[in-house]
Structure 1
């Protein structure tokens, strides 16, 4: 009941000896995530929370079989950390770091073309498969195992949607925070494709925000390909043009990337749109019932 990560995932933490990384490593371990290695240059042969530390990602892979990494390193080193993970041919790398220069991410995007590794982030909360594997900074306790996929540009709105679902007894398969930077790894369509093929995901919640055109592209893909109901919400309806709202990518430029434009495109694609953040779960319930996907376990 998941996409991409589960109990079998062997996670490595890049920058594990830093304070933030060490803190979240402890929380991920407590959730049950299988962390097999840490990577910090010059810190080999030490341990953090009982996890062996290596100098390089390739050394960690050779010794532990790690296949996924999460990056907690300062912005000026983050691009190199991503490239190191790509060179080690990992299945996935999740970059939590924010404020990475756009020119660095442009270089990363070019380098990753045709490569095996999937990148989530940067500036994202990570990915979690409820009850199995938490890779990131999200609060694990709000998640409940189930059959609803969640994908979002906003970390806090991811938490809001997930908490609403869990409070109503509706569990999640996997929740993915793709991040709000203008240049990043995977986008909505990559996640939607995976949920569309996952037999244990019944419906998807997609949360976007102003800026860019990824929501419009996703709406077109949904209209042409999605076999499951999608519930949407767009934040930033009251944002003035030219003002960045939170994320670096959340900015209306030259009249493009507006909330109204995104909402219109999503409605045209048949997406069930929630008018407020507090109504996301109720909108999902309506979509499930209309599509005859309501399950007895959802009843209070």
Structure 2
């Protein structure tokens, strides 16, 4: 057993990483299903009690009387009763934080900090897997984020939203996908980082950030958000999130295993996708607060069949695309 592990260290490490990722997600799912709703209730209750305490605090009363306009503005930013309050504040803080992380990552890559050495080490280890049977699996996985497949996914999502008579939900979809794609294109042109030397699938574009990782989080992340918002079942929401997260991790990992990108490229792509996803969710929630989107839409059997048929169509199309267009590109 030990000799087999030593001979297949890269494959064993990859399998262990996937196992640990899935185990962590399933553990978080267990916690969310058992305690999530209770925790959310306690947080809201604690928030209300904290606001009540602060409203009676002498320092806050003095501040309110001295700076009434500033106090009113801050109070609105932390109001739970409407989207322009605490929800928008949290989403804005998330966008600022993600942007700061991306800028920090760019600086680390540009200044050749330790993450670049990690990039080269992981790339060298993945090059040893080029003849492994798992390469075929990851070629199929990475094909889900290819341009033809993302266009197909978008078209089917548009069709489903129109059938459900929720056209305003599509605005966030366009913001997430078009915005992230444009940002990634400009970033690639600006940084012009070369791809790993042992790349398996021929690519024309530059390496940083990963377009596949970007579109994975932006497009599939927004679809996950829509599925969770349209679902009325808390258990279904949690399971959708866990399955989608594992799927998105697999796509990002596929770019590293196939040596299409360095680790930092994929992390950068996730950050860009996360930035535009958060912005798209913010716009969608604002439209929802305006009454433009009905999340309580009635799901008929035909609607459910349409979603499942769309998923099957995407799955079959991806397999065909990988077989006839991706595998011939193997170098």
More strand by share: 1
The structure where helix makes up a greater share of residues is 2
Whether the TM-score (by the shorter chain) exceeds 0.5 is: no
TM-score, normalisation: structure 2: 0.24
Larger relative contact order (CA 8 Å, sep ≥ 6)? 2
**Which structure has the larger Rg?**
2
TM-score (norm 1): 0.25
